[in-house]
Amino acid sequence: MKYLFQKLLILFLLAGVSACIDQEFDEPPVDGVDPGLTANATIAELKALYKSGTYTPIEQDLLVKGVVVADDRSGNYFRSFILQDETAGIEILINLTNAYNFYPVGRELFIKCQGLVLGEYNGVIQLGGYVYIEDGAQQLGDIQALDEHIIKGKRVGAPEPKAKTINTLGPADISTLVKLENVEFAGNEVGLPISDQVGRQTLNRTVLDCNGGKITLRTSGFAIFANKPVPEGNGTITAIYSVFGTTKQLYIRDYSDIVMNDPRCSGGGSGNEAFVSIQSLRELFKSGASAAPANTKIKGIVISDKDNNNWDSRNLVIQDSTGGIAVRFANNHTFALGQQIEIITSGQELSEFNGLLQINSVDNGLAKSNGAGTLPTPREATVSQVLSNLENWESTLVKIKDATIAQGTYSGSKNVTDASGSVVMFTRSQATFSGQAVPSGTVAVTAVVSQFNTAQLVIRNTNDIDGGGNSNPGGGSELLPIKAVRDLFTSGTTAGPANKKIKGVVISDKDNNNWDGRNLVIQDSTAGIVVRFQAAHNFTLGQEVEVSIGGQELSEFNGLLQVNNVAGTLAKLIGAGTLPTPREATANQVISNLEAWESTLVKIKDVTIASGTFSGSKNVTDASGTIVMFTRSQASFSAQNVPSGTVEITAVVSQFNTAQIVIRSPSDIK
């Protein structure tokens, strides 16, 4: 909607001159007054006057009557409202903010249309006040003389929304209140905010039904509910239907317009899909099929690594016990290495891209994560065996031992050679490690088998190369419990012992930016510790990692013990791990056991948090005492308000000279 997006800047400018504008409005009477007018045209008849491709002045003495079905109270509409009668609906552009004080949802309005102008914005007919020139093009301006054209009537309440399905929404429904049942949001968007309240950017979220229908929910970053999460379940959405060209769109009036309390219907499929093996899809393609069969889905482990950018952000590789396959989504995906995912494949295109079989142009809503999975064990093979079994092993993990790599940086094509032959290892220039030098000497290479007209290998990150001139994280090293490392420092040791490594599950969350990008916290069954890398790392919450600590600095930063200045090559991803169960404790117990519990998860129940936004230090108080909860200003949620009342907090124990706790995200507070 034109003015919802083009005039957001004006909203800030108006705020800056509020001293010159009367911002106080009298709330209209509950019932209002019947002005005693009789409409002589319907909204459908008014819209029918519009001449496509031009602005249409209204010369007739027309009076239309309707009920406001969407206003600007929540901020999802700006300087406009939606008026609807029994025949149609229309967007009214007005020169007024906080217009809900005069034209609230449920109020009857009469519009004197003579002298006004009809226009269209990408398929949506609008009623405005005049036409002006901007950047050499005509634009529809809003109604200036509101009292001359808009007469307030009684409050009668909004009409019941029309029950529709995504596929039956049509031109007659534009700018009317509709209700979609048995719908849900795309699985990869669940839990994300509805819109961007921090950046004040309008965002789209994908709504699916259980019959393959798809529609966009569009929400302004200025909406008061913009930071509310995309709900997980299935249910109903009441909204104003709109379009942007050929794209169907919804605009909700408030977050309460979304009610999703029922189980999901498998991410927008029919709900009748049965699992098939990846190998069966590959065999169908070999037999001439160009699409996957109806009512099918696959499940497997992601073996590509989006975080290190050696795959295009729309692509991933998934492997099950039978085989592997590349998947290309319609938009960038969010699935990380080691996640188990399901993808509805019914009718999806099977095709080759330069010889690589892929499920192509998959709607992101057809895929969902089942959480952390277990990475498949790479098949040990020679180069010659990889080349001989290319079609069968394509998109699966292999490990080639006793190999050498042509020298230079990783970027581009590098020959990997063993006693049996050579194969190309390809690295995108966009990969995070593309500019690093490949190791010299004999190495073992773990990689995904791929092809670009001929065979090639693709590594996930530099940890896929063991030996040679690189440090070998964990290679031949003894695993130490994290507590043993902490005890070494307590006893005066300031460097990790030679040929030792630690292993644990990541309990910090880089994605929400409440830790510096170089820091992570890992915990094993004995204790936890901070690891500070030389550069930003890519390890995500819940992954299991190994870190070689031989000769690495053990030091405290404002009282917090860390393995410091660690090279990224000394850390190795094992795969998806299991997050440790938080230790239940009181605030006083955390403070009393600070050194022993530092860098581990705790849960503190029945607490209150000092009011305000998350950013900075906030006192957390229970019956036993008070401890500080610290949130970085860079955290994605720092500007959100902390919850009021009694809550329970799951957090990482930390310290900055004194005890503090650090949450991963607002979901750590229940």
What are the angstrom distances between the C-alpha of 114 and each of 104, 124, 127?
A: 24, 20, 11
Looking up tokens 């073996």, which residue turns up?
303
Residue 644 counted as domain residue: yes
HSE-CB for 62 with a 13 A CA cutoff: 22
Contact 273, 266 (CB under 8 A): yes
Rounded CA separation 546/174 (Å): 56
Mark whether 214 and 247 lie in a shared domain: yes
Number of C-beta neighbours around residue 464 at 10 A: 24
pLDDT exceeds cutoff 80 at 30: no
Contact assessment for residue 467 and residue 439, using Cβ atoms and an 8 Å cutoff: yes
Tokens of 482: 């994290």
Distance from chain centroid for Cα 266: 19
Same-domain pairing of 143 and 208: no
Whether residue 209 is predicted with pLDDT greater than 90 in this model: the reply is: no
Q: How many domains does the chain have?
A: 6
List b or e across 574-585, with b for residues whose CB sees 16 or more CB atoms inside 10 angstroms: bebbeeeebeeb
- Above 90 in pLDDT, residue 348? no
Give CB contacts under 8 A, 24+ apart, made by 515-518: 515/632, 515/662, 516/632
Write out pLDDT tens, residues 518-528: 999 999 999 99
Find the range with the poorest average confidence among 197-211, 439-453, 606-620: 197-211
Find out whether 398 and 381 touch, Cβ atoms under 8 Å.
Answer: yes
Average pLDDT, the chain: 89
Q: Are residues 328 and 446 in the same domain?
A: no
CA distance 223 to 78: 10
- Last residue within a domain, chosen from 197, 229, 262: 262
Indicate left, alpha or beta for 391 from its phi (over 0: left) and psi (-120 to 50: alpha): alpha
**Inside any domain, residue 473:** no
Read off φ and ψ for residue 659, nearest 5 degrees.
Answer: -65, 145
561: left (phi over 0), alpha (psi -120 to 50) or beta: beta
CA distance 619 to 627: 6
Do 424 and 505 fall into the same domain?
no
The SS3 of residue 42 is: coil
End-of-domain residue from the set 420, 446, 467: 467
Indicate if the pLDDT at residue 346 is higher than 90: no
Among the candidates 521, 555, 576, a domain finishes at 576
For the chain, the distance separating the N- and C-terminal CA atoms, rounded to the nearest angstrom, is 37
Is residue 83 within 8 A of residue 113, CB to CB? The reply is: no
Structure-derived torsion over alpha carbons of residues 148, 153, 159, 165, reported in degrees to the nearest 10? 0
Among residues 339, 319, 337, 328, the alpha carbon closest in space to that of 278 is found at: 319
Where is mean pLDDT largest: 365-374, 560-569, 624-633? 624-633
The Cβ of residue 491 has, within 10 Å, a number of other Cβ atoms equal to 7
Percent of the chain with pLDDT over 70: 93
Give me the domain span that covers residue 389.
379-467
**430 neighbors 440 (Cβ within 8 angstroms):** no
Of 424, 542, 549, 419, nearest to 479 (Cα)? 549
Q: Is the pLDDT at 222 greater than 70, yes or no?
A: yes
Residues 6+ away with beta carbon under 8 Å from 288: none
354 and 401 housed in the same domain: no
Residue with tokens 């069966």: 280
DSSP string, 196-232: BTTTTB-EEEEEEETTS-EEEEEE-TTSTTTTSBPP-
- Tokens linked to 431: 């990969």
Predicted TM-score (pTM) of this structure? 0.45
Q: Which range has the worst mean pLDDT, 32-36, 578-582, 609-613? A: 32-36
Q: What are the distances in angstroms from CA 32 to CA 27, 107, 148, 149, 151?
A: 10, 8, 18, 18, 11
Residues 403/383, Cβ–Cβ less than 8 Å:
yes
Q: Are 48 and 93 found together in one domain?
A: yes
| Digit-coded pLDDT (tens) for 370-397 | 888 889 999 999 999 999 999 999 999 9
Q: Is residue 569 in some structural domain? A: yes
Query: 243-283, pLDDT tens digit by residue?
Result: 998 889 999 999 999 999 988 775 445 567 899 999 999 99
C-alpha neighbours within 13 Å on the C-beta side of residue 595: 6
Answer for the pair 553, 563: CB distance below 8 angstroms, yes or no.
yes
Residues 215 and 80 in one domain: no
Query: How much of the chain, in percent, has pLDDT values that exceed 90?
Result: 70
The DSSP secondary-structure symbol of 408 reads S
| Amino acid 473: pLDDT | 39
Angle in degrees, CA 286, 288, 294, rounded to 5: 100
The pLDDT tens digits for 135-183 are 888 999 999 999 999 999 999 999 999 999 998 999 999 999 999 999 9
How many CB atoms are located within 10 Å of the residue 360 CB?
A: 18
- Tokens (6 digits) for 77: 């509409």
CA distance 131 to 660: 59
Q: Is the pLDDT reported for residue 304 higher than 90?
A: yes
**366 and 463 housed in the same domain:** no
One domain, residues 489 and 536: yes
- Both tokens of 604, joined, read 């503190």
Question: For residue 413, how far is the Cα from the chain centroid?
Answer: 33
> Is 80 exceeded by the pLDDT of residue 322?
yes
319 and 418 assigned to the same domain: no
* 401 part of a folded domain: yes
**Residue 135 dihedral angles phi and psi, to the nearest 5°:** 55, 40
* HEC profile of 455-513: EEEECCCHHHEEECCCCCCCCCCEECCHHHHHHHHHCCCCECCCCEEEEEEECCCHHHC
CATH of the domain at 352: 2.40.50.200
Whether residue 551 sits in one domain with residue 521: yes
Average pLDDT over residues 304-316: 92
Going by pLDDT thresholds of 50, 70 and 90, the confidence category of residue 223 is very high
pLDDT, tens digit (0-9, with 9 covering 90-100), for 227-250: 999 998 899 999 999 999 888 999
What one-character-per-residue DSSP string does 69-93 give? EE-SSSSSS-SEEEEE-SS-EEEEE
> Which residue do the tokens 């290319």 mark?
390
Residue 20 binned pLDDT confidence (cut-offs 50, 70, 90): very low
Is 51 inside any structural domain?
yes
Structure tokens at 37: 């007018």
Q: Which residues pair with 94 in a beta bridge?
A: 143
pLDDT band at 31 (very low <50, low <70, confident <90, very high): low
Angle made by CA atoms 642, 600, 193, in degrees to the nearest 5: 35
Confirm whether 419 is domain-assigned. yes
pLDDT at 310: 95
Q: What is the pLDDT of residues 467-493, one digit of tens each?
A: 754 444 333 457 899 999 999 888 887
Going 338 to 341 to 346 to 349, the CA torsion angle's sign is negative
Q: What's the pLDDT tens digit per position in 538-570?
A: 899 999 999 988 878 899 999 999 999 888 888
- 3-state SS, 534-578, equals CCCCCCCCCEEEEEECCCCEEEEECCEEEEEEECHHHEEEEEECC
- Inform me whether the pLDDT recorded for 405 exceeds 90: yes
In a domain, 409, yes or no: yes
State whether the Cα torsion 184-186-192-195 is positive or negative.
Answer: negative
**Among 421, 425, 441, 443, CA closest to 433:** 425
What are the tokens at 208?
């699916």
Helix (H) or strand (E) holding 10: helix 8-16
**Token reading at 458:** 């693709």
- My answer on whether 61 and 147 are in the same domain is yes
Look at residue 271 in the predicted model and tell me its pLDDT: 62
Q: Would residue 436 count as lying in a domain?
A: yes
CATH of the domain at 255: 2.40.50.140
